[in-house]
């Protein structure tokens, strides 16, 4: 449950124990269901959760963490099909040092973040920039297009907001309801 609430706090729900699969378990479950053509068309959106205050408590330091993530993606056979995103620039920098060809995306929830800071924060031009959707405007869309940076906005669930992102021309939309996004993109 990602609402930030304990399920027992939400009316009509109960808490149940569940298994959180590893990346490899997810890949192993999905790959057999795909045709070869689908396997080549799928892009895996991987978010690496990391914060400085979590170092050596919940995860290793960024250099070690990036190396582990890289090897895991490589062994899972999806490295060439992965888009790796993080709010933590340290992880993206460490991954870029391992493999500059990776599709790395800088996530931000800071309204005041200026796009021209992107290269200064990372030290390289990322594959994508991923702001929280209410902060996306025409200027941001045009800047990303000019810089050849994918504009990937998150988490857009309401149809009105999805339509607005489509009209603005963002590159990709992250949503808990991908069927809504696909239906609105197709105009049905």
Residue 158 belongs to domain spanning: 109-188
- pLDDT at 9 exceeding the cut of 90: no
Whether residues 127 and 188 share a domain: the answer is yes
- pLDDT at 175 exceeding the cut of 80: yes
Compute φ and ψ for 152, nearest 5 degrees: -115, 105
pTM of the entire predicted model: 0.87
CA distance 87 to 100: 18
pLDDT recorded at residue 136: 96
- pLDDT at 32 exceeding the cut of 60: yes
Whether residues 114 and 166 share a domain: the answer is yes
Helix (H, G, I), strand (E, B) or coil at 118: helix
pLDDT recorded at residue 112: 84
pLDDT band at 10 (very low <50, low <70, confident <90, very high): low
- pLDDT at 2 exceeding the cut of 60: no
Whether residues 121 and 178 share a domain: the answer is yes
- pLDDT at 5 exceeding the cut of 70: no
pLDDT band at 120 (very low <50, low <70, confident <90, very high): very high
CA distance 127 to 83: 8
**Containing H/E element for 46?**
strand 44-47
pLDDT recorded at residue 12: 64
Compute φ and ψ for 151, nearest 5 degrees: -105, 105
Task: Say which CATH number the domain at 180 has.
Answer: 3.20.20.190
- pLDDT at 42 exceeding the cut of 90: no
- Within-domain flag for 152: yes
pLDDT recorded at residue 121: 94
Which has more confidence, 2 or 32? Answer: 32
CA distance 85 to 20: 20
Q: Tell how strand 44-47 and strand 103-108 pair up.
A: unpaired
State the average pLDDT for the chain: 91
Domain boundary among 69, 104, 139: 104
Whether residues 149 and 174 share a domain: the answer is yes
- Within-domain flag for 176: yes
- pLDDT at 13 exceeding the cut of 70: no
Average pLDDT over every residue of 133-145? 96
- Range scoring the smallest mean pLDDT among 11-15, 34-38, 70-74, 111-115: 11-15
């Amino acid at each position: 449950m990602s609402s930030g609430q304990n399920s027992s706090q939400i009316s009509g729900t109960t808490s149940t124990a569940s298994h959180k699969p590893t990346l490899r378990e997810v890949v192993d479950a999905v790959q057999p269901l795909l045709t070869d053509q689908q396997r080549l068309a799928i892009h895996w959106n991987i978010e690496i959760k990391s914060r400085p205050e979590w170092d050596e408590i919940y995860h290793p330091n960024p250099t070690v963490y990036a190396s582990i993530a890289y090897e895991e993606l490589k062994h899972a056979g999806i490295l060439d099909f992965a888009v790796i995103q993080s709010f933590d620039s340290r992880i993206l920098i460490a991954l870029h040092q391992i493999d500059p060809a990776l599709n790395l995306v800088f996530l931000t929830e800071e309204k005041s973040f200026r796009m021209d800071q992107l290269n200064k924060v990372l030290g390289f031009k990322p594959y994508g920039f991923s702001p929280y959707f209410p902060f996306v405007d025409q200027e941001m869309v045009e800047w990303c297009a000019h810089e050849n940076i994918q504009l990937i906005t998150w988490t857009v669930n309401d149809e009105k907001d999805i339509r607005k992102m489509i009209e603005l021309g963002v590159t990709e939309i992250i949503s808990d309801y991908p069927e809504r996004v696909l239906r609105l993109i197709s105009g049905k």
